[in-house]
Amino acid sequence: MQTRKLGQGGLEVSAIGLGCMGLSYGYGPATDKTQAIALIRTAFERGVTLFDTAEAYGPFVNEELLGEALAPFRDGVVIATKFGFAGGKVESGLDSRPENIRQVADAALMRLKTDRIDLFYQHRVDPDVPIEEAAGTVKDLIGEGKVGHFGLSEAGAQTIRRAHAVQPVAALQSEYSLWWRETEAEILPTLEELGIGFVPFSPLGKGFLTGAINADTRFDQSDFRNIVPRFSSSARKANQTLVDLLGEIAAAKAVTPAQIALAWLLAQKPWIVPIPGTTRLPRLAENIGAADVTLTPGDLAAIADVLARVAVQGDRYPAHLQARVGR
């Protein structure tokens, strides 16, 4: 697989990474551990080197899973994890106090079975802790050899600038896909100006852009998409037009809609590295295959025409979660 660089500090990763959250958290029951380890190791064998996790995914179990799965080839991969929630629990609120950042780093090192965290993200900006304090704490951890690079997640442009002035930010992780493009207005220009990489999560629209979800799909009761306005039955019905039109473009190129969606992201900037997640080996192979899909200027024009004609319906988060992003 081709590689890309995130930031100016020499962090090089596969053009497509693996988001590991869904193996343990967020999308229904956790994947069987043996199957999850097999999937992670298969991803590595097929060229994936960026693996994304967080203490909050579980909490804790996703980091433990990743640590065990990647132990045999630790030096051949880049592990990204995150701090920022009290006790590692999303429902407990934010906590980016320096003492908590340090505690999270030490605990994550043990769970990941490693001596360093390659990329350490602030999971969400904490309004009660100046970003300079959080960035300074990670800077100290980098100096101590516990962390390799600093990242932010879902941060606003001014916060990115303030953090970057204290400790260079290697990557911003935020949502970006064919059906969520608000980052294009201010965030992408800021990242390009500062030389910061971009790691889009949910690059397949939380599964919707694969074409496998429709208005009649029923999610497991523990699947967080049940509370996402964009996944209401009426919104899914309205948004099906986008998937259908992308499907026509995909069929003409003999690829899948998911591969079109990922290839489109890769075509936007050379420093964008999407991290699709999956629990299934066939879907993993499909996602990795997107790195080999070349979109011509004509293809990109056709996709732009679709995006101009289709207005995606529904907010991407309920209000209480939306309040935590873009700070």
Active site residues: 57
Distance (Å, whole) CA 305 – CA 46: 34
Cβ atoms within 10 Å of 2's Cβ, excluding its own: 11
Evaluate the omega torsion of the peptide bond into residue 276 and state whether it is cis, within 30 degrees of 0: no
Residues in the chain: 327
Are 105 and 136 in contact, with CB atoms under 8 Å apart? no
Please work out, in degrees rounded to the nearest 5, the angle formed at the alpha carbon of residue 302 by the alpha carbons of 238 and 292: 100
Which residue type is seen at 192?
A: E
Looking up tokens 């959080």 gives 134
- Tell me the three state secondary structure of residue 312: coil
Closest alpha carbon to 47 in 7, 12, 82? 12
Question: Is the Cα torsion angle 322, 7, 277, 37 positive or negative in sign?
Answer: negative
Q: Which residues contact 186 (CB under 8 A, 6 or more apart)?
A: 157
Among 16, 79, 72, residue whose Cα is nearest residue 48: 16
- Helix, strand, coil percentages, rounded to 5, for the chain: 50, 15, 35
Cβ-count burial of 103 within 10 angstroms (0-12 exposed, 13-18 middle, 19+ buried)? Answer: middle
